[in-house]
Structure 1
């Protein structure tokens, strides 16, 4: 699938073969379970630092209004933590003001019925009315088709936040994409199954620092 017209994103081409796993530190229990390292941990951190600066200055220039950051669990927890650490670093070292941040954590479950309401079940926020009038930043690990995120946005917007933006570490190029474009994207990646940096396969690989392409051996080993 052709790349969407995204600004401020690092695009990884479809023919990128990544890096051999034996050149990096990969846990022994995942030996042979990933075919290559697609994005190294250091590159992830550098890219997140730039995303943090983009987010900080976008909201800083809007009047230093408070930002309510929502982490989509489980896959987003490492990206969320590292991103907010870097935004808070800018808050601590910016002499002309800062952007106050509050946080929430959610998990998503799509409703399963024959009459879809176009919503998702949001687990973790007891009262969505708390979003009213706030600048909301949703932090997600990966946008695949974009359908779940569109449903989440439809649900959140019913509670009248002042603004809603989405930051994702990865956006996958897939023919199944709804065409949804997040506000902040770390990397645009090929249509491959990736794991690591909290992205999982049946709850495995969250403890892998790099983002890697899973191998057939890994799929077979950890199949449920």
Structure 2
């Protein structure tokens, strides 16, 4: 299996999840062989989706061909970013692709369109913009060890300088 971390927001969840898998492997008669890889996507400006996905980092994903892949993501909002990533990965002919997301937002948009749902979810959260535990707002707040909501004052203070 190849664990594919979606940077930057997913790195803390990815690290904690891999630590748990390694711990489980140490107690198994037949441990799960595990490789890691990284991909970087961009789809947000301030607290709004840009409507497009940019793959802006990572090695060639050719090594995923014929492999079982676990994508580890920080948050699924509308799901459009993950849908686009999954579509992008089809060209690499993975054996199987599953998605683990720390958080999934309960949004009106999701309910109305029955949007994408990851295979594995840590928490469902309200339709608020959260930060912390590597999830950012314009590159701020990744360093927090907890997750919290950014209020309107914080959004204005840390807005992008367009």
TM-score after normalising by structure 1: 0.62
Q: Higher strand proportion, which one?
A: 2
**Secondary structure of the corresponding residue to residue 161 of structure 1:** coil
Q: What are the equivalent positions in structure 2 for 1:144-155 lying under 5 Å apart? A: 144-155=77-88
Residue aligned with 1:220, SS? helix
Contact 1:79 1:141 in 2 (8 A): yes
Aligned 8 A contact 1:71 1:106 in 2: yes
Gaps of 5+ in 1: 1-66, 111-118
Aligned-residue CA RMSD (Å): 1.7
Contact 1:174 1:190 in 2 (8 A): yes
The yes-or-no answer on 1:92 pairing with 2:29 is no
Could you state the TM-score of these two structures normalised by the residue count of structure 2? Answer: 0.85
Establish whether residue 208 from structure 1 lines up as the match of residue 110 from structure 2: no
Contact 1:120 1:155 in 2 (8 A): no
Please state whether the residue corresponding to 2:108 is helix, strand or coil.
coil
Do residues 70 (structure 1) and 4 (structure 2) align? yes
Partner of 2:91: 158
Contact 2:40 2:58 in 1 (8 A): no
Contact preservation (8 Å) 1:109, 1:122: yes
* Offset from partner CA, 1:129-154 (integer Å, 9 cap, x none): 21111000000000001011111101
Instruction: Note if contact 1:71-1:77 (Cα within 8 Å) is conserved in structure 2.
Output: yes
- Computing the radius of gyration over CA atoms, which structure comes out larger, 1 or 2? 1
Q: Distance in 2 between matches of 1:220 and 1:108?
A: 24
* Number of residue pairs aligned between Structure 1 and Structure 2: 149
